[in-house]
């Protein structure tokens, strides 16, 4: 009898935590929510190995997880919330036009994408440059490689 109760409790706990884990996942379709997203990217889809922007597919490689302090530096997120993000490598050519004939990084190639999810909101930052962005508050304030930040929702 104790085994059944423990098994039931474990199953209930697993099911209760499943929506929380999924809510922090950046994979899947996202609707443009910010002015930048409406003006430049439109809706996006993040999947294993690719990013879709305005029905165009770009290769995507997950590089590493971003610590809460790094997420806070890029997105001005609440450091105490403990939200982690993800850094990706991608290649979006500078001449690639999206919504309203806009580009992601002007005359530079977009080579990095940082994301973090909170609730049903996805925050994205695109960066140019061959080197990984430095995710420190002072570095982000003075960087010339940050192309823009975008907000999407589900």
Structure tokens of 16? Answer: 């209760």
- In this predicted model, what pLDDT tens digit does every residue of 73-112 receive, in sequence order? 999 877 777 789 999 999 999 999 999 999 999 999 999 9
Contact 27, 152 (CB under 8 A): no
Alpha carbons within 13 A on the beta-carbon side of 49: 0
Q: How far apart are alpha carbons 55 and 137 in whole angstroms? A: 34
- In this predicted model, what pLDDT tens digit does every residue of 31-83 receive, in sequence order? 999 999 999 999 999 999 999 998 999 999 999 999 999 999 999 877 777 78
Q: Which domain holds residue 121?
A: 25-153
Domain assignment of residue 138, yes or no: yes
Q: How far apart are alpha carbons 129 and 22 in whole angstroms? A: 31
Domain assignment of residue 56, yes or no: yes
Domain assignment of residue 120, yes or no: yes
Domain assignment of residue 76, yes or no: yes
Beta partners for residue 121, in sequence order: 118, 153
Domain assignment of residue 16, yes or no: no
Domain assignment of residue 15, yes or no: no
For the chain, counts of helices (H) and of strands (E): 4, 8
Domain assignment of residue 58, yes or no: yes
Structure tokens of 8? Answer: 């039931």
The pTM for the full model equals 0.83
Domain assignment of residue 122, yes or no: yes
**Given the structure tokens 């990013």, which residue do they identify?**
51
Count of structural domains, the chain: 1
Q: List strand residue ranges (DSSP E) for 2-72, in order.
A: 28-32, 44-47, 50-53, 56-66
């Amino acid at each position: 009898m104790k085994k059944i109760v423990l098994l039931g409790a474990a199953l209930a706990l697993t099911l209760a935590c499943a929506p929380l884990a999924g809510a922090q996942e950046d994979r899947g379709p996202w609707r443009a929510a910010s002015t930048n997203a409406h003006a430049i990217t439109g809706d996006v889809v993040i999947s294993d190995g690719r990013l879709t922007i305005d029905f165009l597919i770009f290769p995507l490689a997950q590089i590493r997880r971003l610590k809460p302090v790094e997420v806070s530096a890029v997105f001005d997120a609440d450091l105490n919330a403990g939200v982690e993000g993800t850094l990706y490598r991608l290649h979006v050519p500078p001449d690639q036009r999206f919504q309203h004939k806009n580009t992601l990084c002007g005359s530079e190639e977009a080579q990095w994408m940082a994301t973090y999810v909170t609730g049903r909101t996805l925050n994205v930052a695109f960066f140019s440059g061959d080197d990984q962005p430095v995710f420190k508050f002072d570095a982000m304030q003075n960087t010339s490689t940050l192309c823009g930040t975008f907000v999407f929702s589900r």
